[in-house]
Amino acid sequence: MPLPQEPTSAPGPAGNGRRVSRKSVLRAAAALGAAPLLVAGPVALAREQPLTGGAGLAPTPDCHDGDGQTVEQMEGPYFKPNSPLRDSLVTAGTPGIRLTVTGYVFDRGCRPVPNVLLDFWQADDNGAYDNSGYSFRGHQFSTAQGAFSLTTIVPGLYPGRTRHLHVKLQAPGRRVVTTQLYFPGEPRNSTDTLFDSRLVMNVRQAGPGREGTFDFVLDVPQDPTTPPTTPPTTPPTTPPTGTWAAGRAYRAGDGVTYAGTAYRCLQAHTAVTGWEPPNVPALWQRL
């Protein structure tokens, strides 16, 4: 049976904008082991943009330094909901070249965005996707500093594609952004019709493995003087009402039931199939 193909899709813009102090972010990055990593020339990172006034920002201003804005790409045929909550997709016996990807998620003003849901999936060392289980699939949440870290392997070559990682991102209360990450210097970069140089990671050799960095920029306007969401009340102001439903916008403190169990919303978001309350403890607290 022929393998499903990932069709060509013209990339569209995600958000972008202004900057945090380069030194302060790089100092934090060094503490996380996420200093800039360079192969085949530097790839601009959002953290390197100077701060300018946040007022009057365009919907998708440029947060990168000459690298263009973060772009979206199609999810391909192998996305599966309900991925496990984890930041490592490997065990000691997993075959393949070890790869660690670190970075930050910024708003369009280049301020770090916490609690962003990042759902990663990829091919294994042989270029195959696990469609019956959840190998090389997992989701995590950005830290209070907007940082993320993924431990995996360099994906094998999938027919017709260059090497790539898939990811979906959703900031609290915002829409889902789907994109792909690429490797520098890959021979198939020049023949893959989906390849976009704006999505190339910084990658370097690190012993027998590799380390990469990439900063995401989402269309998330934030006023640094006020929190982006309303903290939940304890106990809830109202008892859980209604059944959880995909596509519905929830506010912090909202209550729902799912499979007969009550949950309270911890941060505002729009519900997505695959991120039901039992699967995303950062979004829902079981009561």
Collect all residues with Cβ–Cβ distance below 8 Å to 113 and sequence separation of at least 6: 105, 106, 107, 142, 146, 171, 218, 220, 222
Confidence of residue 222 (pLDDT cuts 50, 70, 90): low
Q: How many residues does the chain have?
A: 287
For the chain, give the percent of residues with pLDDT over 70: 69
Residue 80 CA to residue 274 CA, distance in Å, equals 8
- Please state the pTM of the whole predicted model: 0.70
pLDDT, one tens digit per residue, over 75-106 is: 999 999 989 999 999 999 999 999 999 999 99
Residues facing 217 on adjacent strands: 106
pLDDT, position 270: 83
139, β-bridge pairs: 85, 119
Confidence of residue 22 (pLDDT cuts 50, 70, 90): very low
- Average pLDDT of the chain is 77
Q: What pLDDT, on the 0 to 100 scale, is given for residue 234?
A: 42
Q: Which helix (H) or strand (E) holds 142?
A: none
pLDDT at 267 over 60: yes
Cα 175 to Cα 165: distance, rounded to the nearest angstrom: 20
Per-residue pLDDT, averaged over 252-260, amounts to: 89
Longest dimension (CA), the chain: 58
List alpha helices for the chain, DSSP H.
22-31
The number of beta carbons lying within 10 Å of the beta carbon of residue 278 is: 14
Average pLDDT over residues 177-189: 97
Cβ atoms of 257 and 244 closer than 8 Å: yes
Mind listing the pLDDT tens digit for each residue in 233-242?
344 444 446 8
Residue 142 tokens read as 């950005």
Distance (Å, rounded) from C-alpha 89 to C-alpha 124? 10
